[in-house]
Structure 1
């Protein structure tokens, strides 16, 4: 091979390599964009379930969501597959995706796991929570008290979520936060019902007061027990509400 032919061959190979690299990079960018969009859609649907906009048994209308978010139906379908793995949605062949309907026995099992995880949160907070974190928890309890007086279930429910999320985040244990989050997301299919019965908001927030008091005393066993009892009482309120309905 002469010098000219060798040079042309080398340039052609280089161009081919660059083309392959460019194609690979563009594929990766496309996959990343698709993954990011799917994650955004998944979070949006999760929030619709948490807020009660989507209830147990509701069908996920892909066309309506695609129009709402101004996207194709593909990311919505992918998000629903992920939410099925998380236990929030069930996909029915040839029918579509539906918000999962949870049985009482399934909810009981999840509450038992949550009870243990929440007690651990209390122990870790005693060791790791700053005074500023405890002040923030106190402010949330006071805001929930106002919601109780106004009988404002929606505000109370959201503040209650913030209260528990703040505790878990400040326990400074990513594994615990992940497992706890998975449990709580599934219990959103059930939990709001437990606050509907008259007097349940007040009882729930009185338990929050005891939790913060135990944390301020930096008493690990007391904090763990206060949180454990809070979950047990939450389950009892849930069952009581269902028995009345």
Structure 2
């Protein structure tokens, strides 16, 4: 995968992209990053990338020319049409399903804005996706793009080492992940559930499935579509309701 990030503050990405999973992904050839200061594409004699909004109002608006030219330049050698992602609080709420969708792409371009907003022509004629990571406003799009890049790159083949690692993550199955335990089996009087020490993988799988459903029911019931549950899972839900009540 090829990922280009357009930002006025490319130095913000140095630590994120050069450590941990992001570095491993690059070392393994799974992804190629470039962080580009789109101010370098400005044709304004002062290298300005923003201007006052027509009609008046507070703040400054990013002008179309540097963004248009930067995306054109980054796209010209691409063998596929890139997904151009605008980080914006007005965008579609980001989730694991969108991460899995983007992980199937070959080329992603992220636009990280600042100031009051973007010239609307950028949205209409350059961008393919507008994405928000939550109902709040950040100073710029850099932090939001880091979140998305991390969540996408870890899904690429070979990045995590164990190909099954991400498949049971929270939200990948539609539910929250089951509780996890490791050694020692008893710590300060707190014991690991016996079933996990039993060696019976069928019972362990059933316990994990049930606890995943329980955790989702207690913490994120909005993720449950009861009509789609098996009879066994519906029975578990009734059990959880009685325990709660």
Q: TM-score range with shorter-chain normalisation? A: under 0.3
In proportion to residue count, which structure has more strand?
2
Could you state the TM-score of these two structures normalised by the residue count of structure 2? 0.23
Q: Is the helix fraction higher in 1 or 2?
A: 1
User: Normalising by the residue count of structure 1, what TM-score does the alignment of the two structures yield?
Assistant: 0.23
Structure of greater Rg: 1
